[in-house]
């Protein structure tokens, strides 16, 4: 069936397959599994995206109105916090 030269070559191939079979962990799937188990991560203490968008929308309208009525001394820069809760 196999010759004596083919057997060691095949064994070496099997050893190489075992060495390279390291599976990497997908952090998204791990987080999804934790979420489904009911484990909520506490290190993401952020506002949700719709709340941040609404806050920025209100800021823009307020600043546009101040510019329209030429009240430039009341203008201020929007403080971006990347959604971190700052109060």
Nearest by Cα to 56 from 72, 70, 85, 77 = 77
Nearest by Cα to 85 from 45, 54, 51, 53 = 45
The two structure tokens encoding residue 27: 């952090």
The three-class DSSP label of residue 46 is: strand
Half-sphere exposure of 39 (CA within 13 A, CB side): 8
Kindly report, residue by residue over 2-27, the tens digit of the pLDDT.
788 888 888 888 777 666 566 677 77
pTM for the model stands at: 0.45
pLDDT for the residue numbered 79: 80
Kindly report, residue by residue over 30-82, the tens digit of the pLDDT.
776 766 666 655 455 566 777 778 888 999 999 999 999 999 999 988 887 76
Q: How far apart (Å, rounded) are the C-alpha atoms in residues 83 and 48?
A: 7
């Amino acid at each position: 069936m196999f010759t004596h030269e083919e057997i060691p070559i095949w064994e070496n191939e099997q050893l190489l397959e075992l060495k390279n079979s390291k599976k990497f962990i997908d952090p998204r799937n791990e987080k999804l599994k934790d979420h489904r188990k009911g484990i909520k991560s506490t290190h993401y203490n952020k506002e949700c995206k719709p709340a941040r968008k609404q806050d920025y929308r209100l800021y823009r309208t307020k600043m546009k109105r101040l510019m329209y009525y030429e009240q430039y001394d009341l203008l201020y820069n929007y403080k971006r916090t990347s959604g971190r809760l700052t109060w």
